[in-house]
Chains A and B, each alone.
Chain A
Amino acid sequence: MSAQSTLLPADVPPSPSRQRAATRLLRKLAESPEAGVLIACVVVFVLIALNAPTYASIGNMQVMGRDLSQVGILAIGESLVILTGGIDLSVGALAGLAGILAAWFNVNKGVPAPVSILLAIAICAVVGLWHGTMVTRLKVPPFVITLVTFTVAQGLSLAITSGLPINGIDPLFSNLSSYYVDEIPVPALFFVGAAAVAWFVLERTYIGRQIYAVGGNKEAARLAGIPTGRRITSTYIASSVLAGVVGVLVIGRMNVADPSVGPGWELIAIAAAVIGGASLFGGEGRIVGIAAGAILLEFISNGLLALHISPYYQQVVQGSVLGVAILLDRVRARYFGRGRR
């Protein structure tokens, strides 16, 4: 078999392609959805800040930071699933259930707070494993299996609590949410941490590159020897675990476990992922863009309040932003030859 080594690629020097770096950068900006969202974030922030004096205040920024720990973290998890071409409709309801479970273990069962947090998150991990197994082994459409969980999780939250909030949770919960590091609220750091870890896994590990391959062309990835089932399942687990984290942070922030909180957030998470350049067909989208998508949505929804626009218009605006993002994405795909056409 030694003769085979002649077929292995020989070492070649990396090609020096620094030339015309400026033109390449410009073209890259036009081609990449991430750049567009980042620019939109800046523009929106500046425009609102000029018209609403309190908007750029530290206090308001802290509020936005905490909000991001909710929808933003969900969007990170959701985008992992979307990268494989799936969708996870359960994240909002599961976050709600995780909060209820953590509070219920802690208050009604007397479990110490750290243990009840871990328990709640472990249960979420099992739910994610269940999603992944159903999708990869029994070929249940992701939409369906996560819709089941959405319904059941929402119902369980109400059933456990009889619809009433759970009061008297351990101070650890609220401490998690109310501490600051140099004026930055801890939950916002969770968002940054989740985004950083997701970015690292996707961009700097072989597992991440395999996830992109699976999402881009599942059959090609399978025939190339990639364990597609395991990669897909791992994204569902990550999404559910992150939902659990969000649930714990939320009850800390409100200092009460409210069973009506959570459902509905999955749609904002999906919107953030799509705005950030994730393709619902899978294989496309980067964490930078997706995080920026979540930030943009937060800037807008908070900005509407700061501008004293009726909260009833919130969804109209969020939906319109999503519509514009999808339109721009298609236009870009058409004129710059990027993505699926």
Chain B
Amino acid sequence: MTMTVSDDTPGRAVTARLRGVHKSYGSVSVLDLPELDLHAGQVIGVVGENGAGKSTLMGTLAGSVDRDGGDIEIDGQPLVPGSTEAAGRLGVALVSQEFPLVGQLSVAENLLLGRRPRNSSKRYLVDRKAQHAEAAAMLAEIGLSASAIPVNREVRTLPVPARQMIEIAKAWGREPKLLILDEPTSSLGPVEAEMVLGLARQLAARGGTVLFIGHRLDEVLTVSDRILVLRNGLLVADLQPEEASEERLIREMVGGEIVHGKPTPPPPDSEVVLRVEGLTADGLGPVDLEVRTGEIVGVAGLMGSGRSRLIHTVAGAQPATGGTMWLGGKAYAPNSPGDGTAAGIALIPEDRKEQALVLFAPISANVTVSILRRISRGWLLGPRRQRDEARKITANVNVRMQSVEQLIGSLSGGNQQRAVFGRAFATDPRLLLLDEPTRGVDVGAKAEIYELIDRAAAAGMAVLVASSELEELLSICHRIAVMNNGRTVQIIDHDQATKERIMTAAAAANKPLPTNGAAA
């Protein structure tokens, strides 16, 4: 083992050494770390806003993200990029938020996935007894009794917290040198959450390293020996627990300055286009909301707060279970996105690749997909007419391309997104629904997207835009609805909106935990 002594933490061995590690998607840099050492015997908290680079950092260490460049050493051994297997061999274990469990197999089979029980008397046959015994031992290791999680149960019949604990037991059983926990407590009740924090401390006490990605700042402060703050892929603060506080962390996360962007003129007293009362759906509601002609209303909230669900329910892509909606003064109860389109709604979904485009099809087919029926004469639609319409649509939103017959997948993210906007505009909607409109778009292209949104509002559309980027909402919206746990908890006017205010409303805990860092 290479013993390296670093200045800030004398005497401690380095478990992971990162040098010049960087990663970008297209032209968007999501992680850039010139130099970072993770020391043995510590719990290292990692915080940052959505998209700050936390998941990328984690994935890079665990091998699930293929870094663009830079060197990583685990215990002095170089880590081959992009191989989870190699990372596992070097002693890195990741507990992610999506649990890679096989639902149809038992808890025991999942815990021993890919290997045989150690004390098995059978050579070729399944030794269920040994399997169960070892699985029960693994669960006991992290403090779970056999009655809490029966090892013979099918995993899919277990609730989410139990699955999270199985994931943790699996990682724990590999006796990792570097254990990465990605928001491990977000799906847990207070008791299990305490257990997980205890485990993190325990591993550190044994000389291991824990990378603890947290969304609850109080927890991070409680458990960590060192706290890293990421913002826009950069390490912006490296704090000792005594210099950190919730206020300080929030300040570092959001970047200190309060961005208001260009103040958009409030719309004149205009007619209400969308009115939503007591709207509920799976994981949503009740929600009350109004959007007027020419108004841009933002939807803010943490991951899982129901932002996308609200957008999808209004679009008709997810069935509403209760409440009422009015569109342009008429009752509106969509059964499918087709109903939404027919009523004058255009949706620009979150995931361009999966939900908006056929990447291997030409631009012309993609931008006309919502208006095929309208541009056809009777049933007939010739390719020339489709191409002509596509040229108008793309010129309208200034898509830079060689020809409309080019595959849309060959365009840059920003250009693709402009094409999607053009497609939405072409349907002449009265309500424009946007879900993460600038995701995967570089900075320059973002400004152009904002202009398109402004243009839509100026032309009289009502715009409802969900986004995880607060700056974005603060700079383009007339009002911001903050969601928490499926509900709209606050609606804030542009001139009163600040990052802190939105964050506070969005992160207001449903389950109180001690907030004092010294409590543990």
Please list the residues of chain A having a beta carbon within 8 angstroms of any beta carbon in chain B: 1-12, 14-15, 17, 203-210, 212-213, 216-217, 219-227, 283-284, 337-340
Contacts and interface: CB of A to CB of B under 8 A. Distances in A.
A212 B391 CA distance: 20
Contact of A217 (B338, B357, B376, B458): B357
Contacts of A203: 383
A338 B430 CA distance: 37
Given A10-B395, A224-B369, A216 B388 contact: no
Contacts of B440: none
7 nearest CB pairs, A to B: A225-B341, A216-B358, A9-B392, A206-B372, A9-B396, A206-B376, A3-B460
Contacts of A4: 428, 430, 459-461
Contacts of A210: 369, 372
B354 A8 contact: no
27 contacts: A3-B458, A3-B460, A4-B460, A5-B459, A6-B459, A7-B428, A7-B459, A8-B425, A8-B428, A9-B393, A9-B396, A9-B422, A9-B426, A10-B396, A204-B381, A209-B381, A210-B369, A216-B361, A217-B357, A217-B359, A220-B357, A220-B358, A224-B356, A224-B369, A227-B338, A283-B361, A340-B360
Contacts of A1: 293, 430, 460
Given A9-B393, A226-B338, A14 B387 contact: yes
A1 B347 CA distance: 19
B23 to A, nearest CB: 21
B301 interface: no
Given A220-B356, A225-B341, A337-B410, 12 more contacts: A1-B430, A4-B430, A5-B428, A7-B396, A9-B395, A9-B426, A209-B381, A217-B354, A221-B369, A222-B337, A223-B337, A227-B338
Contacts of B427: 225
The listed residue with most A CB atoms (<10 A of its CB), out of B342, B355, B360, B407, is: B360
B425 A205 contact: no
A339 B360 CA distance: 5
A10 B358 contact: no
Given A8-B428, A213-B369, A223-B355, A206 B379 contact: yes
A225 B403 contact: no
A257 B257 CA distance: 83
The listed residue with most B CB atoms (<10 A of its CB), out of A15, A213, A225, is: A225
Contacts of B395: 9-10, 12
B355 A219 contact: yes
B392 A212 contact: no
B382 interface: yes
A74 B354 CA distance: 32
A17 B403 contact: yes
A217 B358 contact: yes
Nearest to A333: B360
B285 interface: no
B354 A220 contact: yes
A223 B347 contact: yes
Contact of B391 (A6, A14, A225): A14
A209 B459 contact: no
A299 to B, nearest CB: 30
Contacts of A337: 407, 410
A221 B356 CA distance: 8
The listed residue with most B CB atoms (<10 A of its CB), out of A7, A9, A15, A283, is: A7
A341 to B, nearest CB: 9
Contacts of A11: 392
A206 B372 CA distance: 5
Interface in B350-399: 354-361, 365, 368-370, 372-373, 375-376, 379-383, 386-389, 391-393, 395-396
B317 interface: yes
Nearest to A281: B360
Contact of B358 (A3, A9, A213): A213
B426 A205 contact: no
Given A14-B391, A216-B360, A339-B360, A205 B380 contact: yes
B347 A10 contact: no
A70 B123 CA distance: 55
Contact of B381 (A205, A213, A220): A205
Contacts of A14: 387-388, 391
A337 B361 CA distance: 11
A145 to B, nearest CB: 22
A205 B379 contact: yes
Given A9-B425, A224-B369, A338 B360 contact: yes
Contact of A225 (B342, B376, B422, B426): B342
Interface in B393-438: 393, 395-396, 403, 407, 410, 422-423, 425-428, 430
B409 to A, nearest CB: 8
Contacts of A15: 391, 403
B354 A225 contact: no
A3 to B, nearest CB: 4
Contacts of A220: 349, 354-358, 369
A6 to B, nearest CB: 5
A35 B435 CA distance: 41
B456 interface: yes
Interface string B446-471: 00000000011011110000000000
B183 to A, nearest CB: 26
Nearest to B392: A9
B336 interface: yes
B361 A212 contact: yes
A226 B461 contact: no
B360 A227 contact: no
Contacts of A225: 337-338, 340-342, 370, 427
B392 A12 contact: yes
Nearest to A13: B391
A206 B317 contact: no
B465 to A, nearest CB: 16
B459 A213 contact: no
Contacts of A283: 358, 360-361
A335 to B, nearest CB: 15
Contacts of B430: 1, 4
Contacts of B391: 12, 14-15
B449 to A, nearest CB: 15
Contacts of A206: 372-373, 375-376, 379, 381
B315 interface: yes
Nearest to A203: B383
Contacts of A7: 396, 425, 428, 455-456, 459, 461
B203 to A, nearest CB: 41
B403 A284 contact: no
Interface in B271-294: 293
A222 B381 contact: no
A5 B427 CA distance: 11
A224 B422 CA distance: 13
Contacts of A2: 460
A182 B434 CA distance: 60
B336 A222 contact: yes
A284 B360 contact: yes
Contacts of B403: 15, 17
Given A7-B428, A7-B455, A15-B391, A207 B461 contact: no
A6 B458 CA distance: 10
A307 to B, nearest CB: 39
A209 B392 contact: no
Nearest to A208: B381
Contacts of B354: 217, 219-220
A4 B510 CA distance: 43
B417 to A, nearest CB: 14
